[in-house]
Amino acid sequence: MRVSLSTSNLSFSAAPGQSLLDAALGASLNLPHSCKGGNCGSCRARLLEGEIYYPNGTPLGISPAEAADGYVLLCQARARGDVRIETFDITTPEQALIKRLPARIERAVPLSHDVMGIFLRLPAAESFRFEAGQYIDVMLSGGRRRSFSIASPPHDSRLLELHVRRVDGGEFSAPLFDGDRQGALLTIEGPLGQFVYRDRPGVPMLLIGGGTGIAPLLSILRHAVETGRRRDLTVYWGVRSERDLYARAALERATLEGAASSYVPVLSEAAPSWAGRRGFVHEAVLEDLADLGQYDVYTAGPPAMIAAIRHEFARRGADPARLYFDSFDSAPDALDRQRTRAVTKS
């Protein structure tokens, strides 16, 4: 089956039962996407010709009104035959191309009790250009992959910094925490994702992270500041407990040095001794900021946080066209293993 993009001369093949997004990525086309689970809506496209179906029913990330207008989610849609789609946010074919490269773990540094910072060195002879906010996939056996946002900025790409959260029994994270992986050789694909910094001088920016969703926001923050973009930057970071604030020093330093106008940590399971904000991070933003319409909003974190922000912020004046999302879903095979273990233990 042939999938054609109306906004360019690009096309690719899709196998029966293969999602349109997987088919595009397999053809090294970086179409807009984020969570790959049908929750965030980032891979929304308009179906112009042909017919698609969803094997698991209509995903949560698309509303009945959007579906009626011809929109589909590429990460879940399967083609019944040749189709033609209209995608968004890709400006040139060159920006859509993905590379597969070897990468060596230069060093691994514990950032918290369950987050490891790893620094990847790429081949000196290869150029790897990415935009602040994008991510890479680490390739595993059997064609499986794990996605990690790049925490380092594009102008300092000698080493790619990733933040890896430990997952119980995780195929990639568990060996990283349990053994010495320094010097290990990986295969990566990227850059991926359309969650990228938009250069709009003078427009204030609101960065909202949940958990390791702070990683791409650190890349955006450093890129905006260190390349001389003068933007008013406000950062909110939501985690469970105080020990999860692994980037606290860097964000506090950014505030002290004037790189960010304010940094607000929010704990959902705070200890009694915590003197700061409590609850959910998006609720703290809504309590503090009356006029969301003035901001470019960049938010990265778990699907529930993304869904709440999409729903609530537009009602409070935020421009939907300036709400940029990166949803951190677990990989489907990791979820399957977790479900299997839960059934076994029950």
The 3-class secondary structure across 211-239, one letter per residue, is HHHHHHHHHHHHHHHHCCCCCCEEEEEEE
Residues present in the chain in total: 346
Beta bridge partners of 159: 121
pLDDT at 96 over 90: no
User: Does residue 204 sit in helix, strand or coil?
Assistant: coil
**DSSP conformation letters of 128-176:** ----TT-EEEEE-GGG-EEEEEB-S-GGG-SEEEEEEE--TT-TTHHHH
Tell me the pairing of strands 262-267 and 277-278: parallel
Q: Which two tokens mark 205?
A: 């920016």
pLDDT at 187: 92
- Residue the block writes with tokens 């890479």: 136
Instruction: Kindly indicate the confidence band of residue 268, based on its pLDDT and cuts at 50, 70 and 90.
Output: very high
pLDDT at 93: 45
Q: Judging by beta carbons within 10 Å of its beta carbon (0-12, 13-18, 19+), is residue 290 exposed, middle or buried?
A: exposed
pLDDT at 260: 84
- Bin 279: left if φ > 0, else alpha if -120 < ψ < 50, else beta: left
pLDDT at 91: 44
- The per-residue pLDDT for range 199-257, each reduced to its tens digit, is 998 899 999 999 999 999 999 999 988 888 778 999 999 999 999 999 999 999 988 88
- Residue the block writes with tokens 């189709």: 83
Helix axes 303-315, 281-288, angle to 10 degrees: 20
pLDDT at 197 over 60: yes
User: How many CB atoms are closer than 10 A to CB 196?
Assistant: 22
- The per-residue pLDDT for range 1-37, each reduced to its tens digit, is 899 988 777 889 999 999 999 998 888 787 777 667 7
Question: Whole-model pTM?
Answer: 0.77
